[in-house]
Amino acid sequence: MDILNIIDEIGKIDGEIYERLNPRRKAMRSFFDIGKKLSMAALPVALTGMFQKAYGQTTVNTTVVSALNLALALEYLEFNLYNNALTATPTLIPAAAVPIITTIRAHEQAHINLLIATITQLGGVPQAPMPYTAFNYTTISTNVTTNYSTFLRTAMSIEDFGVRAYKGQLANLVSNQSVLAAAAQIHSVEARHSAQLRKMIYDLQIANLINLRPWLSDRATDAGVVDPTNYNDSAIGALSTVYYQDNATLLNAENKVTQAGILLTGINGFTDVTANAAAQSFDEYLLTATVKTVANALYINKPYQLT
């Protein structure tokens, strides 16, 4: 997308576009300053915000803002885990892994900045900053700040949860295509975080996790951990809600083999597409109510719980 050309084309219709964008004729400097601070995924959102201000489109879309605020709360959950590990417990992470965790933390901070800026641009009020103490990271084990394996498994479960939560919010963002595109790109980054963390856990060859894959699976080759019902491959029973339920009918269970009403097993005669292969091909979304319930039960302390 060539931003200059877009504004140029608008200028042919609206000769006062630059005055509308910024009365002091600093529109382009402002825009490029924004570009330096945000990722390329954020640029459509930044441009949307500029045009909203230029043309007085100030009506707040509460559905969009609520979806972004939910995402923002989860970004605080992720960021604080990594930031605490890197700053408060610097000996926790092996030297070789520090650059990886540092990069992931930087991604989460960028997501926080982007979400705050976007919510503000849309006329909403961003979720108040949530500190490390707002969260419970001990669902897997109380030694999350002293044991590297526990830290990685905790991070994996949170990233997996974030992926499902983001996917569930995309439907709430369809009214704003620019925001939707940026959120979808953040969703893909979170999925890559999960894959990276799963690879790091695999490398440790932890008992019951020796066959952990970079994507969700039932790991049917792990003796004693086979659970094709809930696809909770973390080997932590308390985390089943992250991977399994959405409602009483298990509409979005991770072992789902139907997408868009189409049965994937054996599709078009391809017998290699087994139930396992079909289920592992897609991440399932979580509905908003489920995200809040799971987050409050597993990860968020009072009085910071989501309502």
In this predicted structure, what is the pLDDT of residue 246?
59
Q: Which residues pair with 262 in a beta bridge?
A: 259
In this predicted structure, what is the pLDDT of residue 25?
46
| Lookup result for tokens 């590990």 | 85
In this predicted structure, what is the pLDDT of residue 253?
79
Q: Which residues pair with 300 in a beta bridge?
A: 135
In this predicted structure, what is the pLDDT of residue 57?
53
CATH of the domain spanning 62-217: 1.20.1260.10
**b/e code 188-222 from CB counts within 10 Å (16+ = b):** ebbbebbbbbbebbeeeeeeebeebeeebbbbeeb
In this predicted structure, what is the pLDDT of residue 236?
86
Sorted by where each begins, the domain ranges of the chain are 3-54, 62-217
CB atoms within 10 A of CB 113: 15
CB atoms within 10 A of CB 142: 11
In this predicted structure, what is the pLDDT of residue 276?
83
Closest by CA position to 201, among listed 236, 151, 166 = 151
CB atoms within 10 A of CB 124: 17
In this predicted structure, what is the pLDDT of residue 1?
42
In tens digits, the chain (307 residues) has pLDDT values of 444 554 555 454 445 555 555 544 444 454 445 444 545 455 555 555 554 554 455 577 899 999 999 999 999 999 999 999 999 998 999 999 999 999 999 999 999 999 999 999 899 999 999 999 999 999 999 999 999 999 999 999 999 999 999 999 998 998 888 898 889 989 999 999 999 999 999 999 998 888 899 998 877 666 655 456 668 888 888 888 888 765 555 667 788 888 888 999 999 999 999 888 888 888 888 989 999 999 999 999 999 999 9
Are 217 and 280 spatial neighbours (Cβ–Cβ below 8 Å)?
Answer: yes
In this predicted structure, what is the pLDDT of residue 181?
86
pTM of this structure: 0.81
Q: What are the E-state strand segments in the chain?
A: 258-259, 262-263
In this predicted structure, what is the pLDDT of residue 252?
76
Query: Would you state the structure tokens that stand for residue 77, as one six-digit string?
Result: 């959950």
State the pairing for strand pair 262-263/258-259: antiparallel
In this predicted structure, what is the pLDDT of residue 26?
47
Three-state secondary-structure class, residue 306 = coil
